Amino acid sequence: MGTTNGGLMIPLLLSMFLLPLGFPTSSAANGLIRIGLRKKPMDANSLFAARLSYKERKSFMSRRYGLRGGVQSDGDDEDIISLKNYMNAQYFGEIGIGTPAQKFTVVFDTGSSNLWIPSSKCYFSIACYFHPKYKSSQSSTYQKNGKSAEIHYGTGSISGFFSDDDVTIGDLIIKNQDFIEATKEPGVTFMVAKFDGILGLGFKEISVGGSVPVWYNMVNQGLIKDPVFSFWLNRNAGEGEGGEIVFGGVDPNHYKGEHVYVPVTQKGYWQFNMGDVLIGDESTGITAIFHFDRVLLSLLLNHYLLLYLLFLPGYCDSSCAAIADSGTSLIAGPTTAITEINQRIGAAGVVSQECKAVVAQYGEQILKMLISQTQPARICSQIDLCAFDGTHDVGIGIESIINEDKDVSAGLHSDAMCNACEMAVVWMKSQLRRNHTEESMLNYVNELCERLPSPMGESSVDCGAVASMPTVSFTIGDKIFELKPEQYILKVGEGAAAQCISGFTALDVPPPRGPLWILGDVFMGVYHTVFDYGNSRVGFAEAA
């Protein structure tokens, strides 16, 4: 999802001709359908292209969530899809569409629910010329549908129309499957991507156009033994094998011990409740965060997006929501927690002058108010950095809009200071629970200001310091799932040119879905993941 520090002027054309070939598939005697995955290592070309796609995403989000009359959300469940960045997607598999089967490389994505591939009728998008295109005239099982379709992503959007045809996955043939023929694929992402399309494995609740997902038809047509599929992702950089998706059950050779299962709490994504996040053996306190998670992204993004985010309540109550998402490379979470994690591992993010200014000018006053038991939700309004709407603090610019009595632009700087203040309150409250001195607390919060991560992008770390970094752990069910530094740090390149990237990225998902943690491939590569559709649950066990 995003960007990194520094510039790598590396020709994008190199990445256009490195499409993965030869994906093994098989049907085992025990009724399990196996889809081999090819792994594309994150390389310098991907990082450079991701920076370009970040510019597209920033522009898109300001239109989608801003005040300029741009695209508006068609539903609450589009948010994650629209913020996804497939540029860094690393795992691909092969499917066939039509009779005879036309081959396509797709990302098997548990964070979306539609199948789409480029259409032979895609004439005006450069991206379509770098990938195979579906030709309905060459398929004897094609059936015309024609309904228009459009899916927005943070790194571009695709549009086209629905068609029906047979889809081949391994040895299975799914009959009369709806899919999208993409006739428009704007953006850098789809031009240089090493995949042709996306095959969504989420629930039908987030399927664009009400299309029945491929997975549902596999179950409904009785093609698999059990309504379960599982992911094993190979994270060993030196091995060409990327892993395997198993439809119809699990392969005991892919994991160690027993799976810990948690129920799906809201269908759409594979969403479940998650407990605390630990850095080393210390809690980040995410289950006690107020509404402040919602806003730090606005310090780093276009100010128009700020005006949307400030309305968000964004808090974790007794637990946080999380999703297991094979279509996201990194682990994404609320800016408050991600900033603290990246500070502890030494990741260099974007410096926020507003945040440091708040700490310098108001830090001691905020601490005194917290010690005197002042309500945290009212501190920033009491020191005149925010307005109070009767429930919690809001930016003064937003208050102006609500009251329609002030110029919007005049409040933007005040909004940023309000956001920084709210974040400082959260961090200081967390430090007070640890009984640190006033000086150490202020120094710590100031360091966090300097570690604010690039929104929806990567932060760099010192490759030589990886061995000394703390573990980061996630509480799921009754178990703590630990990630070691070598597991959450992604190394790009070798020798003196090597870069090390934090596996944690900031992403503030608006309600009603958010706040939300997205456990992508960094997590799923360490923990074998079972998607149990029949029992509506997700399971995790140590990957073999």
> Which residues form the catalytic set?
109, 325
Cis peptide before 11 (omega within 30 of 0): no
Sheet with strand 277-279: strands edge to edge: 282-283, 277-279, 472-476, 479-483
Distances (CA, A) of 123 to 87, 118, 153, 155, 160: 23, 10, 21, 20, 12
Helix (H, G, I), strand (E, B) or coil at 292: helix
User: What's phi and psi for 151, nearest 5 deg?
Assistant: -130, 130
Characterize the bridge pairing of strands 387-388 and 460-461: unpaired
Contacts of 243 (CB under 8 A, 6+ apart): 36, 37, 39, 91, 231, 232, 233, 234, 525
Matching residue, tokens 């006739």: 183
DSSP state letter for 339 = H
In this structure, are residues 291 and 74 in contact, taking their beta carbons and an 8 Å threshold?
no
Closest CA to 340 of 255, 279, 251, 287: 279
Contacts of 105 (CB under 8 A, 6+ apart): 19, 20, 23, 92, 93, 94, 194, 195, 196, 197
Phi-psi region of 323 (alpha: psi -120 to 50; beta: other; left: phi over 0): beta
Phi-psi region of 222 (alpha: psi -120 to 50; beta: other; left: phi over 0): left
Closest CA to 396 of 353, 384, 293: 384
User: What's phi and psi for 300, nearest 5 deg?
Assistant: -105, -20
**Residue-wise DSSP of 465-528:** GGGGSPPEEEEETTEEEEE-HHHHEEEESSGGG-EEEESEEE--PPTTT-SEEEE-HHHHTTEE
Matching residue, tokens 């998650």: 274
Characterize the bridge pairing of strands 102-109 and 197-200: parallel
In this structure, are residues 532 and 538 in contact, taking their beta carbons and an 8 Å threshold?
yes
